[in-house]
A and B are shown apart, each in its own frame.
Chain A
Amino acid sequence: MIAFWVLAAMLIASAVWTIVAKKPVYSVVALLLNFATLAVLYVTLSAEFLAVIQIIVYSGAILVLFVFVIALLGSGVAPFPTGPNRLPKIWLPAGLFTLAAFGFLIYAVSNVKMAAAPATGAVGNANVFGSVADFGKALFTVQLLPFEATGLVLMVAVIGVITLGGEQMSDAEAQQSRMRADRAVREAILREGKG
């Protein structure tokens, strides 16, 4: 119970830090804190596999990607130069509206009557719930189709990134690089024959 509130405070603080930080690298650090805290929260909800995936995929892959892009686009430590601010100066009414909407959201969420919690073990088995074995068994048997769909999603993402980031070669350049590759292969074969 206390652990939940400590984790919740850390989650909210790091989320706020993410969106208010002037320098993008600080945002990444705050987001890293957020993801790590969330992984701990997943452990308290007995979602072992997802806690590990949260660390590996989010902190290990996605955030490193962010850091690389920050390094590519600018110095990283300095705030990025932004253009002139074209927003009209209505931050006071906008802020008040936001706070009102936020307060209403919190009020509504914390007062809605949720479906009653089922008796322990009503749906699944509390002893094996959330273990890696349980998750893996479900992933490769009953839920095989969603698993295959994630593979398709990742392949589409890879193709999209290659299409976006790949260099556009003109026909002459493509011909030249093909000829260079052919020549390299021929020379390699000749060398092999001599040796």
Chain B
Amino acid sequence: MSVPINDYVTLASVIFFIGVVGVIVRRNPLIMLMSVELMFNAANLLLIAYARLWLHNVGHIFAFIVITVAAAEAAIGLAIVVTTFRPEKYVDVDDIRRLHG
């Protein structure tokens, strides 16, 4: 590996952090879900970089599972967004009062 592993870790944490900021700051549920995808990808990048460092493909298997879980999460999350926000006037997570009882 010509690039030191620390650089990969730094890059992955920067992308993860951007995803965290997106989830916290944005109020549009779709962009929040996209930020979650960013975080999944940061984790995947780390798994693959370390797999390359140790030349062992179990990291690849784990990244494969993460991709599957991300796909399932996106499908269910988007279904929830559609059923929740279709009757609403605003697409804004702050406006959802239905769970308050």
Contact = CB atoms under 8 A, between A and B. Distances in A.
Interface residues of A, number: 80
Contact of B74 (A62, A110, A122, A149): A62
Contact of B72 (A80, A109, A118, A154): A154
A-B CB proximity, top 7 nearest: A19-B22, A157-B72, A124-B55, A80-B91, A83-B90, A82-B92, A150-B68
The interface size bin for chain B is 35 or more
B17 to A, nearest CB: 6
A83 B95 contact: yes
Contact of B35 (A19, A47, A70, A81): A19
**A contact face: mostly helix, strand, loop, or mixed:** helix
A45 interface: yes
Contacts of A125: 55
**B contact face: mostly helix, strand, loop, or mixed:** helix
B94 A83 contact: yes
Given A72-B82, A164-B83, A134 B57 contact: yes
Contact of B82 (A24, A69, A149): A69
B31 A73 contact: no
Given A135-B57, A157-B75, A165-B79, A18 B22 contact: yes
Interface of B: 1-3, 5-7, 9-11, 13-15, 17-19, 21-22, 25-28, 30-31, 33-35, 37-38, 41, 44-45, 48-49, 51-58, 60-65, 67-76, 78-83, 85-86, 89-92, 94-95
A24 B30 CA distance: 7
Contact of B90 (A28, A81, A105): A81
A112 B13 CA distance: 13
A21 B22 CA distance: 11
Contacts of B68: 150, 153-154
